[in-house]
Amino acid sequence: MKNYDILKNLCRKMYLAGAGDFWFEKGEISKGKSLKYNIYCCILFFIYISMTVLEILGVFIGDMPEDEKNDCTTFAVSHTIVLLKMFSVIVNRNRVKNMNSKLVEICNEYEAESRRAENYRIMKINLIAYAVSVYGSLVFFIVEGVRKVMTGSHFITIVTYWPLYEDNSMVAVLFRIFTTGVLIVMMITMICIDSFAMVTLIMYKYKFITLRYYLEDLRVQFERNNYAGKEDYAADQLYSGLIEGIVMHGNLVRLLKDIDGSVGSVLALQVCLSSGSAVSLLLHLALSKDLTFAAQLKIILFVVALFFLLALFLCNAGEITYQASLLSDSIFYCGWHGSIMRRDLRQLVLFACASAQRPIVMKAFKMLELTYGTFIQVVRGTYSVFALFYAQNEST
């Protein structure tokens, strides 16, 4: 059961990262409520929240150079949204558990091993590419901090209100190094949450692909069984197969509500994060005249990581809509026209086609459709806002 193993391993990593137990089988990942684990989670998120609050204070009342001010603003916005993404999943823990159970069960009997292997390969490629893009950006933030030390300044990765810019005491240095470690750990938790949302979308997409192949196989089975003296048997088999397909389709449609309630906020907040942070970063890159190569590279890689994750989310969500739209054709060509004895078979096909033609579209904030086109719109909109602010700054 490939999906079972993938989801379980991912939930185990989320548990170790401090997000909690999201697995639907009791005792498989956590052994019930643990005081030590609860303390560990509270300490971890207290540190995350405290660091983010210090970043926000640095934006509004901090006294620091322009480059550090820009970094402070970028991290304050990014980490605030990252925390919201984490909490949006954590508060819906029971719904996530229910969703995991359904993702494992629905269509599992008809998933071919080759498609499971392809599904796993695509997940693995997406997750590795995302993790590399995130930590690739982080490496250059650390490199830039080391470069500042070598030029006579202080080491800095996360810019916070305290310690103050002029403070180069040992306590201040240790705190700046500590916040860098916190950032590395926070990225692990963030990647686990984002990966879980991404894996959910990919699995859901392959459920529709599995259902489509199942419906197409009904025609092959009908033609194999439909010969002289066996017409009624072939029609009955087709009818019962269609009934099962309709049930699976109904379960998949209902599962969309669980997915939207579990990880929908993660997708919606990523749209805000990618567009908002990208504008700030691009303006910083375009307007700063004395950026080093490492500083330019850290900004570029940060923007790439933001839009890469958004592309993974929106393209997989758009693929769900596309794969679901193919089901009506698979139902119509299931072979019902070869049976002239059962009129109820034709009525069943008509009902199933009508049901499959209702579009399945994921939405952010119940307004913005998550599709391929939306990704292009977000990229264009982000560039338009950047160009507007850049033109205004150049004219002043």
For 143-188, the pLDDT digits (tens) are 999 998 998 888 999 999 999 999 999 999 999 999 999 999 999 9
User: Within a 13 Å sphere around the CA of 223, how many CA atoms are in the beta-carbon half?
Assistant: 8
Q: If phi over 0 gives left and psi between -120 and 50 gives alpha, with beta otherwise, what is residue 251?
A: alpha
pLDDT score recorded for residue 100: 96
User: Which tokens hold the place of 342?
Assistant: 């059962």
Q: Which residues contact 312 (CB under 8 A, 6 or more apart)?
A: 126, 130, 198
Q: Give the whole-angstrom CA distance, residue 271 versus residue 249.
A: 29
Q: What is the DSSP letter of 364?
A: E
Q: Give the whole-angstrom CA distance, residue 220 versus residue 208.
A: 19
User: Which tokens hold the place of 378?
Assistant: 């977000």
Task: Determine the residue type at 240.
Answer: S
Is the distance from CB of 204 to CB of 259 less than 8 angstroms? yes
Q: Give the whole-angstrom CA distance, residue 186 versus residue 86.
A: 10
Q: Give the whole-angstrom CA distance, residue 273 versus residue 271.
A: 6
How far apart, in Å, are the Cα atoms of 24 and each of 34, 100, 119, 158?
A: 17, 7, 22, 37
Q: Pick from 188, 142, 64: which is nearest to 301 by CA?
A: 142
* Domain limits for position 95: 2-395
Chain position carrying tokens 């984490």 = 86
The phi, psi pair for 368, rounded to 5°, reads -90, 115
What are the beta bridge partners of residue 368? 364
Mean pLDDT by 10 residues, the chain (396 residues): 88 95 92 88 97 96 90 93 96 95 94 89 92 92 91 91 92 96 96 96 96 94 82 88 94 95 93 88 82 87 92 94 94 82 81 91 84 90 86 74
Number of folded domains in the chain?
A: 1
Is the distance from CB of 331 to CB of 215 less than 8 angstroms? yes
Chain position carrying tokens 């304050």 = 76
pLDDT score recorded for residue 367: 81
Q: Give the whole-angstrom CA distance, residue 391 versus residue 353.
A: 52
How far apart, in Å, are the Cα atoms of 66 and each of 27, 148, 282, 295, 394?
A: 51, 15, 15, 13, 17
- pLDDT 10s digits, 196-218: 999 999 999 999 999 999 999 99
pTM, full prediction? 0.94
User: Within a 13 Å sphere around the CA of 126, how many CA atoms are in the beta-carbon half?
Assistant: 25
